[in-house]
Amino acid sequence: MEQLQSLHAALVTALPHALLRQNEPMARHTTFCTGGPAALWLQPDCAASLAQAMVLAREHAVQPVLLGAGSNVLAPDEGLDTLVIQTRGMSGASAEGNVLFADCGVSLRRLATLAQSHALTGLEFAHGIPGTLGGGLFMNAGAYGSELKDAVLSVTALLPDGTITTLNRAAMDFGYRHSALASLGAVALSTSLELQPDSADAIAARMAELQAKRSASQPLDFPSAGSTFKRPTGGYAAALIDQAGLKGLTVGGAQVSEKHAGFVINRGGASSADILALIAEIQRRVELSSGIRLEPEVRILPRYKGGIPWNF
C-alpha cells in the first residue's frame, strides 16, 4: 500500500526515537495472544509524538488503530493493513494532594498502586483490570460496583482534526462502557483523577481482597480479553451463558471458561477466527434459550480499521 510506505518514511524522519516496526505480529500485543501482522506498528513515548503520528497518518490518508495494552480487542488473523499505535510507552504518573495526574498509557494496575502508596482511595477496583488508563477512559472501565467516572476530574484529548481539548467529567458523558471519546472520535492523552485520603494499609487490604475474588472466580491463568460480552438489560451475560449450558464449549483452541462463563479463553493455539466463531455460537445459543442477543464487549477489529480510531 503506497500510503503506508510513504507514512513509514515520514514517521522514521519525524519520530526517530519512537519504536516503529513493520509487519509486527499483533499476537504479541493483545491479551488474547492472537492476531496477524500490523503493516506498521508504533509506540510513541509522549503525547507530542502521538499527536504528530496522528497528524502524519491523516496527511497520508491512513486511519490508525490505537491500542493501550491490547486487553479488550480481537485482532484478525490476516493482520491489519494500517498503522497501529500502542500507547503504553506513555506512562507518566504523579500525585499532588488528593489528585493523580497520569498519561494515557499508564496501566490501571500501576495507577491503583500509585494511589495506594499515597494513601488515596478510589481506584482499588482498577488494580486487577489489565488495560491502560486511556482504554479505561474510552469505555469507562469498572468492576465491583466502581467505575473510572467516579474519580475523573478532566481528560486532555486529541480530536480527529488534530486539535487538543480538555473535557471535564460532565463533558465526558460517561455511561456503561461508554464515554464521549467514542462519539467524538477522540484519543485520551492524559487525565486528572480526584481521590480521597484513607489508610494505605486499609487500601492495600481492599486491593488484596478484590484480587483474591478475581483469582477465585476468573480464569486468570489463560489468555483472554476479560468479560467477553456487555451486561444485558436486567441480567448478566455469564448467567445466561451458563444457563444455556455453554461452559466448556470449544471451537478450535477457544473455549467458554469452565470457571467463569463470561470469559472466552485461549486454551492454547487458538486463532482469532476460533474466538470469533465461538462468540457467534454463544450469541446464537443464548438467544435461542433466552431471547436475549448478547453484545460483545470485546472490540473486534476488521482487517482495515476505519471510523473511530481508538481500541484498547
- Pick the residue with more confidence: 260 or 185? 260
311 falls within a domain: no
* Residue 27 in grid coordinates: 499476537
CATH of the domain at 245: 3.90.78.10
**What's the rounded mean pLDDT across residues 209-231?**
96
Q: What domain count does the chain have?
A: 3
Catalytic residues: 177, 227, 297
* Residue 278 in grid coordinates: 465461538
User: 137 and 120 share a domain?
Assistant: yes
189 falls within a domain: yes
CATH of the domain at 65: 3.30.43.10
User: 244 and 181 share a domain?
Assistant: no
19 forms beta bridges with 43
Structural domain for 152, as ranges: 93-203
* Residue 299 in grid coordinates: 472490540
245 falls within a domain: yes
The predicted pLDDT at position 162 comes to 84
User: 189 and 131 share a domain?
Assistant: yes
User: 103 and 63 share a domain?
Assistant: no
Q: Quickly count: other Cβ atoms within 10 Å of residue 240's Cβ.
A: 23
13 falls within a domain: yes
Q: Please say if the pLDDT value at position 262 is more than 50.
A: yes
**What's the rounded mean pLDDT across residues 198-215?**
97
User: 157 and 100 share a domain?
Assistant: yes
User: 152 and 118 share a domain?
Assistant: yes
User: 224 and 197 share a domain?
Assistant: no
Boundary residue ending a domain (89, 104, 135): 89
In sequence order, which residues have a C-beta less than 8 Å from that of residue 228 and are 6 or more positions away? 237, 262, 263, 264, 279, 282, 296, 297, 298
User: 100 and 151 share a domain?
Assistant: yes
How many Å apart are CA 38 and CA 277, to the nearest integer? 22
The band of 306, judged by pLDDT with boundaries at 50, 70 and 90, is very low
Boundary residue ending a domain (89, 122, 154): 89
Which residue from 87, 86, 126 is spatially nearest to 108, judged by alpha carbons? 126
Boundary residue ending a domain (33, 68, 89): 89
174 forms beta bridges with none
CATH of the domain at 105: 3.30.465.10
The band of 305, judged by pLDDT with boundaries at 50, 70 and 90, is very low
The band of 304, judged by pLDDT with boundaries at 50, 70 and 90, is low
56 falls within a domain: yes
User: 224 and 279 share a domain?
Assistant: yes
User: 80 and 100 share a domain?
Assistant: no
User: 84 and 109 share a domain?
Assistant: no
In sequence order, which residues have a C-beta less than 8 Å from that of residue 259 and are 6 or more positions away? 217, 218, 219
Phi, psi dihedrals of residue 76, rounded to the nearest 5°: -70, 150
Could you read off the pLDDT of 108-123 as tens digits, one per residue?
999 999 999 999 999 9
Which residue from 112, 187, 181 is spatially nearest to 143, judged by alpha carbons? 112
User: 81 and 101 share a domain?
Assistant: no
38 falls within a domain: yes
Amino acid at 197: P
